[in-house]
Amino acid sequence: MTSGREEASAPARASGTFVIGGELSVHRLGFGAMRLPGVRVESRNPSAAREILREAVRFGVDLIDTAQAYGRSEEMIAEALHPYPEELVIATKGGLGRGGLPDGRPERLRADCEGSLRRLRLDTIDLWQLHRIDPEIPLEDQFGAIRNLRDEGKIRFVGVSEVSLAELDRARQLIDVVTVQNRFNLGDQAADDVLRACEEEGIGFIPWAPIAMGHLLGSPGALGSVAARHGATQAQIAVAWLLDRSPVVLPIPGTGSLEHLRENLNAALIEFSENDLLDLERDAKQSGRPPL
């Protein structure tokens, strides 16, 4: 049984849960590990990134998102957390080549998946996501390779990243898709049609850049005023808004700072009033962003 003290120290649990693929129940507020290899103190304090990962798990995070393309991120996760807690879901991605360009050749997708398995010290990746669809390779070949990896037991569930609605529909004709990872935040809602489709189909929607790489912060508008009303930071309001936006949204704010990690996760404790949401919606419309 979990003590009250442990419950109080695990704010990620306040975000509610979502069941990925009908089998993997996770708390909706996860952690994005893209920035871990860039922790500036790592060269003189190699334990910094590992401590951030351990603290995230202590705070109730059970969904960590990484990728083959994120430098040493996968290795750091294994160094910090292996052997993994039974409930922890690690999602990773493959299919990016040099210069961040899509590389959907079947042999590249296999190499990326098998490399991730080695670095993460796993036999099966719970959620493997195609980082980008490669327009130069037939979709049938890309998803055929992924399906083979799944059938071999190297991948449990499949997701896609940065897809249009038409691409999502086509992908779903070729393979079961349980998550979509698109850029989405209070200042960029261009993927709203994809999010709505995910809601209809029960597909998890993982918004990357949940605070627009920090560009949302310092706003004198509704984001600032709502933050002031709650005694919160603007980053917390941006993350809380995503949690409120839809029950299928799984935000993955990342950081290289323990202080910001705790700040991000405490966003799960914020409850908006109707006026809060109206103010944020009004501000988004006035700034020319797509409506909520």
**C-alpha dist (Å) from residue 39 to 9, 256, 258:** 24, 5, 11
User: What digits encode the pLDDT tens for the residues 104-154?
Assistant: 999 999 999 999 999 999 999 999 999 999 999 999 999 999 999 999 999
Q: Are strands 179-183 and 155-161 parallel, antiparallel or unpaired?
A: parallel
* pLDDT digits 0-9 by tens, 36-93: 876 444 434 558 899 999 999 999 999 999 999 999 999 999 999 999 999 999 999 9
The percent of residues above 70 in pLDDT, for the chain, comes to 88
100: which 2 tokens? Answer: 């961040």
Active site (annotated) includes residue 84: no
Name the pTM for this structure: 0.92
Q: State the sign of the Cα–Cα–Cα–Cα dihedral 135, 140, 141, 142.
A: positive
> Token digits for 217?
């912060």
Q: How far is the C-alpha of 87 from the C-alpha of 219, rounded, in Å?
A: 37
Alpha helices in 1-92 (DSSP H): 4-8, 47-58, 73-81
CA distances from 98 to 52, 185, 253 (A): 28, 27, 25
- What is the Cα 273 distance to its own chain's centre? 26
Report pLDDT digits (tens) over 187-229: 889 999 999 999 999 999 999 988 865 556 666 688 899 999 9
Sorted by where each starts, the structural domains of the chain and their CATH numbers stand as: 12-213+246-256 (3.20.20.100)
Name the active-site residue from 18, 70, 241, 272: 70
